[in-house]
Amino acid sequence: MRYRSKILCTLLTGAMLAFAGTASADISNGNVKVGVMNDMSGPYADPTGPGSVVAAQMAAEDYVKATGSKLKIEIVSADHKNKPDIGSAIARKWYDSDGVDAILDVPTSSVALAVSEITKDKNKVFVISGAGASSLFGTACTPNSVLWTWDTWMQGHGTGTAVVKQGGNSWFFLAADYAFGHALAKDTGQAVEAAGGKVHGTVNIPLGTTDFSSFVLQAQASKAKIIGLANAGADTINSIKQASEFGLVSGGQNLAALILFVSDVHSLGLQTAQGLLVTTAFYWDLNEQTRAWAKRFAALNKGRYPSTLQAGVYAGFLHYLKAVDALQDDTDGARVVTEMKKLLTDDPLFGKGTIRADGRKIQPAYLVEVKKPSESKYPYDYYKVLQTIPADQAIRPMSEGGCPLAAKGIKS
């Protein structure tokens, strides 16, 4: 099957795309139906949005082509507008009325936490790549959820520890005022203090704020060496731009973008973003396999290269399909997730890996620096990898997360 712009346009407006096959009698409603839920038009639309639907579409086609599977796969999509009530309503309708078996992506941790509970109640499957609150594989873990790409502990410990080692030992945080921002500031602050640094304060900023001037002035007045941006997407872009306008960096303070996606760098431009340090679980230019996939993705996504979150949608969906195919049954979500934990993960973007009992996908992370304009040689050539962080250092130890599944000794 080839991608056609007409099909893709229909899909992105919330309709379905089916991959034909002969369904098993144990597959609900005769097909495997998944919903990609995210921010299609707001501050997180670039790193998720329509591109995540493209990634899911690619995963479905690639899986069928590589395995010869007879699964009939159907994809729907919706915009949760970063609001838990809207996300919850979509999830309930999908599960109760529309025959959706699994939900993918879901940036904005407050929405993801709500969707996770509904998924558990309905015994479906939630493969998370968009949200990253560390509680999703900690105190709020469920037997029906898997967190694939990044989390606030990874970002905080990767970037926070590295920056303190480079002399950035005093911090002030600009944090998005919801679960994700609070968790990211907390996790990074703990890493900073563990490395010998000090946190001077945090200011919480409503999601979607466009005027950061008063918050930037508070950060400036703190005299902290490092201003940690515990936000993402358009919020990160706006805070970096306005910090530059207020002369924060030229005044001797530096920014640490705790969550920065390649789409953000593209929007900012290298002249503004150069020198920023960030921890990432994926970069499209890591190796031949990631490059080949990213070029295919960009050709289908208006020339835009994939973010970590979109890569996670692809890889997580592939592994979900592998588990459903192994069981020939998608009706019991907890059983499917148990199978996902049993099976080794293996895909061209993240390589071989495992999923722990608490639902966390285990993989290394990369500390990268945004290149100077003179260092970039081709489109989206934005990062240089400074360090590979081994998986056992990049992911929070299961014993520290408080996940009830781990406490009960459930094996992955």
**Structural domains for the chain:** 5-150+285-363 (3.40.50.2300), 153-282+364-394 (3.40.50.2300)
The residue among 301, 318, 400 whose CA lies nearest residue 3 is 301
CA distance 213 to 216: 5
Q: What is the mean pLDDT of residues 57-80?
A: 96
Res. 318: pLDDT tops 60: yes
Using the predicted structure, report yes or no on whether residue 24 has a pLDDT greater than 70.
no
**3 state SS of 347:** strand
**Residues 139, 407: Cα–Cα separation, whole Å:** 10
How wide is the angle at C-alpha 106 spanned by C-alphas 313 and 70, nearest 5°? 40
Mean of pLDDT over the chain:
91
Residue with tokens 């002369």: 247
Distance between first and last Cα of the chain:
35
The whole-angstrom separation of Cα 71 and Cα 22 is: 6
**DSSP H or E segment with residue 365:** strand 365-370
CA distances to 30, 52, 75, 78, 126 from 55, in Å: 23, 5, 11, 15, 16
Q: Is the pLDDT of residue 25 over 60?
A: no
Q: Which two tokens stand for residue 371?
A: 């290149």
Q: Above 50 in pLDDT, residue 2?
A: no
pLDDT at 14: 45
What is the average per-residue pLDDT within 12-19? 49
Give residue 27's pLDDT: 80
Q: How confident is the model at residue 408 (pLDDT cuts 50, 70, 90)?
A: low
pLDDT band at residue 7 under the 50/70/90 scheme: very low
Residue 34 pairs in a beta bridge with 75, 102
Question: 265-269 contacts: CB < 8 A, separation 24 or more?
Answer: 265/370, 265/382, 265/383, 266/304, 266/305, 266/380, 266/382, 267/46, 267/237, 268/237, 268/240, 268/241
pLDDT over 80 at 409, yes or no = no
pLDDT at 8 > cutoff 60 = no
pLDDT band at residue 39 using 50, 70 and 90 as cut-offs? very high
pLDDT at position 233 is: 87
DSSP H or E run through 145: strand 145-147
- The Cβ of residue 18 has, within 10 Å, a number of other Cβ atoms equal to 12
pLDDT tens digit sequence for 69-83: 999 999 999 999 999
Please check the confidence at residue 22 and state whether its pLDDT lies above 60: no
More confident residue, 327 or 244: 327
What is the reported pLDDT for 38? Answer: 98
Q: 319 CB contacts (<8 Å, ≥6 apart)?
A: 127, 340, 343, 345, 347, 355
For the segment 204-248, what is each residue's pLDDT rounded down to a tens digit?
Answer: 999 888 999 999 999 999 999 999 999 988 899 999 999 988 888
pLDDT at 208 (0 to 100)? 84
> What is the longest distance spanned by two Cα atoms in the chain?
66
Tell me the per-residue pLDDT of 164-198, one tens digit each, with 9 for 90 and over.
988 999 999 999 998 889 999 999 999 999 999 99
Is the pTM value of this prediction over 0.85?
yes
Summarised one tens digit per residue, pLDDT across range 87-122 is: 999 999 999 999 999 999 999 999 999 999 999 999
Q: Give the DSSP per-residue string, 226-276.
A: EEEEE--HHHHHHHHHHHHHTTTTTTT-EEEESS--HHHHHHH-HHHHTT-
Mean pLDDT of the 1-27 span: 45
Q: Give percent of the chain with pLDDT exceeding 90.
A: 83
Quote the pLDDT of residue 411. Answer: 44
- Which residue in this structure is represented by tokens 């990767």? 158
Residues 250-295: pLDDT tens digits? Answer: 778 989 999 999 999 999 999 999 988 899 999 999 999 999 999 9
pLDDT the model gives residue 35: 98
